[in-house]
Amino acid sequence: MQSAVKFGIKLLAYRDRSKKELLDRMVRKGFSEQDAASAVAYLGQKGFVDDRRLADMLVRDGISRKCLGRRGLIVYLQKRGIPSDIIEDAVGSGDDSLDAALDIAERRLQKMARLDKDTIRRRLAGVLSRRGFSYSTIKTVFGKIKLKED
């Protein structure tokens, strides 16, 4: 177990990881399931691995840097191995960030200046949808932005 703990600390020195990510990497490296689980539990006891803290950090990152909506944040956290109960607490049940969606739309509008109105609407809706914004947020964005007249 001692070498698994050392390997875990080495991985955590690079970046924060969820318990599941750490366990998967240790098993892939060749440690037994039992040794890896014991090492992850030990690192969790010592405060090196904290899924709740990681989830809060990833939510802030997803909103500020990646401009993700609620659904996008949930997928982002799931890919990092955060348990679903922690995801629900971290993301909450609130609405999408309208400011982030408007920011994305305004940046994309500058790049689509030569396109017709329908193409712009379709592409903006696709971009916002892929980022995880809800239909109601996308609809609100279209109500607030100024599309060129044909």
Contact at 8 Å (CB) between 89 and 56? Answer: no
Distance from C-alpha of 33 to C-alpha of 41, rounded to nearest angstrom: 12
pLDDT exceeds cutoff 50 at 131: yes
* Nearest alpha-carbon partner for 43 in 68, 16, 14: 16
Distances (CA, A) of 132 to 23, 73, 76, 123: 28, 7, 10, 14
Q: Hey, do 2-45 and 98-144 end up sharing a CATH topology, with the first three levels equal?
A: yes
Do 23 and 37 contact (CB within 8 A), yes or no?
Answer: yes
User: Which distant-in-sequence residues (6+ apart) come within 8 Å of 138 by Cβ?
Assistant: 101, 124, 125, 128, 129
| pLDDT value at residue 124 | 93
Judge whether residue 150 has pLDDT over 50.
Answer: no
Model confidence, pTM? 0.80
Q: For 23-82, write each residue's pLDDT tens digit.
A: 999 999 999 999 999 999 999 999 999 999 999 999 999 888 888 888 899 999 999 999
Q: What is the pLDDT of residue 93?
A: 66
Section 121-144 average pLDDT: 92
Give the pLDDT of residue 95. Answer: 64
Q: Which CATH number fits domain 2-45: 3.40.50, 1.10.10, 3.30.230, 3.30.2290?
A: 1.10.10
Give the pLDDT confidence score for residue 146 in this predicted structure: 76
Per domain, the residue ranges of the chain are 2-45, 51-91, 98-144
Task: Give one DSSP letter per residue of 55-118, joined into a string.
Answer: HHHHHHHHHHTS---HHHHHHHHHHTT--HHHHHHHH-SPPP-HHHHHHHHHHHHHHTTTS-HH
Query: In the CATH hierarchy, which fold is given to the domain comprising 98-144?
Result: Arc Repressor Mutant, subunit A (1.10.10)
How far, in Å, CA of 84 to CA of 93, rounded?
13
